[in-house]
Structure 1
Amino acid sequence: MAYLLQQLANAVPLAALYAALAFGYSIAFAVTKRADITYGAIFAFSGHIYLLFAHMGWDRFWLVLPAALGLGATAALLGGVGAGVTVGQFVMRPLAKISPNAMIVASLGVLMVLMEGARLASGTRELWLPPFLNGVVVFWRGEGFPVTLTLIQLVNVAVMLAMIGAGHLVLARTHWGRMWRAVADDPLAAELSGTDASRVFVTAYASAALFASVCGVLATSHYGTMDFGAGLLFGLKVVLIAAAGGHSHPLRSAAGAAVIGFAETLWSGYGPIVWRDLLIVSVLVAVLVMSRRERVVP
C-alpha cells in the first residue's frame, strides 16, 4: 500500500509539469494549427539560461543563493518570452500566412538554434544547481516507509496549478480570451470583425512561451540541471501529450497530459521501464490519429 501511495505521490509533480506544458502549448496551437516543437526548445532554453545566470550570479557577482537563483529566473523568463515573441513575430506568423506546413520545418530549425546557442553559451558544460527546498514532507506513515514529497516538488505543483487556473480564467473571462477564441476559430472572420489577428497570434505565442519558460525554471530547480537534448525530447513529447485531451482546448489538454503523467509514473513503478516510452508514445500516437478533429485545417 505504501509503495502504491508513494508512486501516486511521485506522479503528482510530473503530472503537473505535463499539464502546465500542455496548457501553454494549446494556447499557441489554437492559432498556429500546426505541430510545433519550438515549444519544447523554449522550455529547455529557459532552463539553460536559468542555470547559466544563476552560476554567474554565484561565481562572479558573489550573490547569496536566493539572489543568484532570482537573477537566473529573471533572465530565463526574459530570454524565453523574448525568444517566443521573436519566433512568433518573424518566423511563425509569416509562414502561417504563406505556407503553414513550413512551420513544422521551421520549428526544427529554431530548436537547433536555441539548443546550440545554449550549449555554446555554457561551454558544453553541464551545470548543476545546489539542492534547495529539499526538506521532506511526510503525508502518510505506513509499514515499511513513509510516503513523502520534497518542498520543491510541492512548490512546483502549486505554481503550475496556479498558472493553469489563471490561464483558464484569462481565456474564459477576458476580452483577450474572446479575441483568442475568435482567431482560433476563423482568423479572417476575426479580422473582418475588427480583431487584429496578427497581434493575437504573436500574443498567444508569447503566452505559450511564458508557460514554457516558467516550467523550464521550475523543472530545472527540481532536477538541478537541464539536459542539452531536452529541447527535442520535450518538444516531441508535448506535441503528443497535448493530444490526449485535444490540442485546441487548453484545459482539456492539460487534464489529458496529467493522466499521461500518472500513467508514465505508474508504469515506471510496476512495469519494465525500458518499454515505458515506447508504450506511452504508441498510445499517444493512436489517440492523435483517431481523434484529429482539427483536420478541418487546410
Structure 2
Amino acid sequence: MLYFVQQFLNGAHSAALYALLAFGYALGNGVLHRANLAHGALFAFAGQTAILASVFAWNVLWLALPATVALSVSIGLLYACAAAVIVSRLVLSPLAERSPNAIVVATLAVAIVLSEAGRIAADTRDFWLPPMLATPVVLASDGRYDATLTLIQLINCAAALVCVGAGALLVRQHAFGRLWRAVADDPTAASLCGVDTRSVFQRTMLLAGAYAAASGIMAALYYGNLGFGAGLIYGLKILFVSALGSRGEPLNAAAGAAVFGFAESLWAGYFPIEWRDAWMLGLLIVALVLMKSTSGTKATI
C-alpha cells in the first residue's frame, strides 16, 4: 500500500509542474485561439538558461550556492520573459490579426529557434546541477517502509500551488481577468467597446511565458538537467490535456494537467517507464477522438 502512496506522492510533484505549465498555456490559448507550439519551448529554454547561469555563477563568479540559485532563477525568468515579449510583439500579434492559421507554423519555428539557441549556448553539452534540498521528508510510514518527498519537491509543489492560485484570482476577480475574457470571447467586440486588445494580448502572452518559465526552472532545479528536446514533449502533453477539457478556463487546464501528472507517475511505478510517454500521449489522442465523436464538436487546442 505504501508503494502506491509513494508513487502518488511522486505524482504530486509532476502534477505541480504540469499544472503550472498548463495554466500559462490556457491563458495564451485564450487570446491566440490556436495551438502554441512555442509554449513548451519556453519551458525548456528557461530551464536551460537557469542551468547555464548556475554554471557561470558557480565556476566563474565563485558565488555561494544560495546566491548561485537566486541568480540562475532570476536570469532564467528574465530571458524567458524577454523571449515571450519579443515573440508576442514580432510574431504572434501580427499573425493573430492577419493570418491566424499561420500561428501554428510560426510557433513551431519559434520552438526550433529557442531549442537551437539553448543547444548552441551550451555547446551541445549537458550540464548537471548537484542535488539540492534533497533531504527526504517522511509523510507516511509503516515501520518498514517510508513514503517521502524531498524538500525541493515540497517547495516546488507549494510554489506551483501559490502561482496557480494567484493566477486564478487574477483571472476571476481582477480587472485584467475581465479584459482577458472579453478579448478571448470576441476581440472585435472588445475593441469596439474601447478595450486595448493589443495590450491585453501582449500582457497575456507575457504572463503565459512567465508561467512556462517558472515551471521550467523548477524542473531544472529538481532534475538537475533539462534536455534540448524536453520542451516539445512537455508542450505536446499540455496541448492535448488543455484540448480535452479547459473550455477556456485556465484553472480547468491546470486541474486536468495535474490529473495527468498523477496518472503518469502511477504508470511509471507499475509499467515499463520507457513506454510511458508513448502510451500517455496515445491515451490522450484516443480521449480526444472519443470526445469529438461523442460530442460532435471540435476540440479546441
For each residue in 1:103-158, what CA deviation from the matched residue of structure 2 results, as whole angstroms up to 9, or x when unmatched?
10011110111111111111111111111111110011125420001000000000
Residues 1:219 and 2:233 aligned together = no
| Alpha-carbon distance, 1:296 to partner | 9.8
Change (3 A) 1:207 1:247: farther
- The 3-state SS of whatever aligns with 2:100 is coil
- Secondary structure at the residue paired with 1:130? coil
CA distance in 2, matches of 1:165, 1:204: 17
Q: Aligned with 1:97: secondary structure?
A: helix
Specify the alignment match of 1:122 in structure 2: 122
For the Cα contact (< 8 Å) 1:18–1:241, is it kept in 2? no
Q: Matches of 2:201 and 2:237 in 1, distance apart?
A: 23
1:241-281 Cα deviation digits (max 9, x unpaired): 22233252101111111111111111111223344323321
Distance in 2 between residues matched to 1:160 and 1:290, nearest whole Å: 31
1:279-298 aligned at under 5 Å gives the runs: 279-291=279-291, 295=298
Aligned Cα root-mean-square deviation (Å): 1.7
Equivalence for 1:45:
45
Partner of 2:138: 138
Matched, 1:242 2:242: yes
Structure 1 residues 247 and 235, CA gap change in structure 2 (3 angstroms): farther
In the other structure, the counterpart of 2:196 is: 196
Residue identity opposite 1:223 in structure 2: Y
In structure 2, distance between residues paired with 1:245 and 1:162? 22
Partner of 2:271: 271
- Name the residue aligned to 2:89: 89
Q: CA deviation at 1:62?
A: 0.9
What's 1:159 paired with?
159
Asked if 1:71 corresponds to 2:79, the answer is no
Q: Name the aligned partner's letter for residue 180 of structure 1.
A: W
**TM-score normalized by structure 2?**
0.94
CA distance in 2, matches of 1:112, 1:26: 21
DSSP-derived class of the 1:37 partner: coil
Q: 1:7 to 1:188 in 2, by over 3 A?
A: same
Paired positions, count: 297
- Which residue of the partner structure matches residue 16 of structure 1? 16
Change (3 A) 1:65 1:104: same
Rounded to whole Å, the distance in 1 between the matches of 2:299 and 2:128 is: 45
- C-alpha contact (below 8 Å) 1:133/1:152 kept by paired residues: yes
Distance in 2, Cα, partners of 1:53 & 1:248? 36
Q: In the aligned structure 2, how far is the partner of 1:145 from the partner of 1:96?
A: 54
Check whether the contact 2:268–2:276 (CA below 8 A) recurs between aligned residues. Answer: yes
Equivalent residue of 2:246, what SS?
Answer: coil
Spell out, residue by residue over 1:43-99, the C-alpha distance to the aligned partner (whole angstroms, 9 max, x if none). 000011101111111111111111111111111001011111111111011111111
The superposition leaves residues 196-247 of structure 1 with CA deviations (integer Å, 9 ceiling, x where unpaired) of 1111111111100000111111110100111111121112122112223325
Taking every aligned residue pair, what percent have the same amino acid on both sides? 45
Going from structure 1 to structure 2, the CA distance change for 1:247 and 1:77 (only over 3 Å counts) comes to farther
Is there any run of 5+ residues in structure 1 with no aligned partner, and where?
none
Q: CA deviation at 1:282?
A: 2.2
Tell which deviates more after alignment, 177-186 or 288-297.
Answer: 288-297
Gaps of 5+ in 2: none
Asked if the contact 1:30/1:247 (under 8 Å) is kept, the reply is no
Q: Which secondary structure does the structure 2 equivalent of 1:149 belong to? A: strand
Distance 1:174 1:22, change over 3 A: same
